[in-house]
Structure 1
Amino acid sequence: MATPILRPIVFFGLLWLPLASQGQAPAPPAGAAAPAVAVAAQPAVDAVDAFSAALQAGDLSAAGRWLADDVLVLESGGAERSRAQYLQGHARHDAQFLKDAQVQPKQRTARASGDLAWVGSESEVHVSRDGKPLTLLATETMVLRRTADGWRIVHIHWSSRPRR
């Protein structure tokens, strides 16, 4: 017979087994922290990372493949309301800015439910402006929708400010 301390561990383990075979872990016990990136959200995180890498490399064609046709990009008080509008406009500036930037990830949270996922990221971005080093504190939220072709970004919101 299990000791009183082992009973909750055994019970939790038995609850987890059926879900583990489905690729989903159960919610953590009350008071425990949820993982920053939920297992079900990892494919969406991979899509965000692929988009970001392509943008930083200046490969707008590859970056565009990760965007839904009707993506909404909000940045610096402006909005682009489609993949075409973003790629023909602000994407070039974003790629140029990121080309020489050093992006240092600090925190990421991601969740998925059904065919929707969101990925929130916090980073420090180290750049040079007018020959002087500048560090920006940056936040990014991306909402993705699962399609027949995989996860596609339907919304991006970027925000940053200089670190003091």
Structure 2
Amino acid sequence: MSALRCLLPMLLAASLIPAQVQAANNKTPPKKVVSKVAPKVVAKVVAPPPVVVAIPTPADVVEAFHEALRTRNRDAVVSLMSPDAWLFETGFVEASRDDYVKNHLSDDAEFARVTDYKPTRRSVITDGQTAWVLTQAVISGLFGDQDVDLEQTETMILRRTPTSWEIMHLHWSAHPRQTAAEQDALAVPPEARVEPSSAAPTAPAQSEAKPEDIKKP
């Protein structure tokens, strides 16, 4: 009987071992906690497109000069001219920009303000750092108490700068505009034109003197 008492705890312990093993196998392992961290957003720096600055053409500078005169914008006129610019105007000569500003700019600006300037023909010639702008224009209006109706020719020579062009020479010439009737009157018809002759000129014929025409002493 004593042997049975000793054996009984051993049997109970042996029967409990499989149950404990099964319970251990059925136990769900703890879930791992994964920390979700938002990814860093790296802002992509996009360089702005390069700014393209349009360089004025020689003709643009000439137009800007006339507009500055018309609006009496003295500073704009000065900025468009080279300090060593030469100006020829109706026989007058200014050998620098300062001379022109002092002597004729005010009168030219007032004339441009009250008259209408219309280019009729313009030609631009460029050669490297130099440009020639040749303009024919009609100017009409009333200046003071005088009617203005002129045909003007204008030559501007411009020099290239890093950002634009500057006027280094200006030559104005003008005359009263002819009417259509005056132009027709001055036109020589083709049939009236005398072509020079290539033949050598001949000496005029001399008449023979008759005896009765000879005076006696």
Contact 2:115–2:143 (8 Å) recurs in 1: no
Distance 1:66 1:162, change over 3 A: same
2:95 match: 81
1:117 matches 2:167: no
Shift of 1:149: 3.8
2:185 match: none
* Aligned-residue RMSD, C-alpha: 1.4
* Secondary structure at the counterpart of residue 63 of structure 1: helix
Contact 2:78–2:97 (8 Å) recurs in 1: yes
1:151 matches 2:162: no
Instruction: State the identity %.
Output: 33
Q: TM-score, normalised by structure 1?
A: 0.71
Higher relative contact order structure (alpha carbons within 8 Å, sequence separation ≥ 6) = 1
Count of aligned positions: 123
Structure 1, unmatched stretches of 5+, are 1-41
Structure 2, unmatched stretches of 5+, are 1-55, 179-217
* Secondary structure at the counterpart of residue 96 of structure 1: helix
2:121 match: 107
Find the structure with the greater CA-based Rg. 2
**Equivalent residues in 2 for 1:87-98, closer than 5 Å:** 87-98=101-112
Q: Which runs of 4+ in 1 moved over 3 A?
A: 129-133
Deviations 1:44-67 (A, max 9, x none): 111111111101111111111000
Q: Larger % of strand: which?
A: 1
Q: TM-score, normalised by structure 2?
A: 0.54
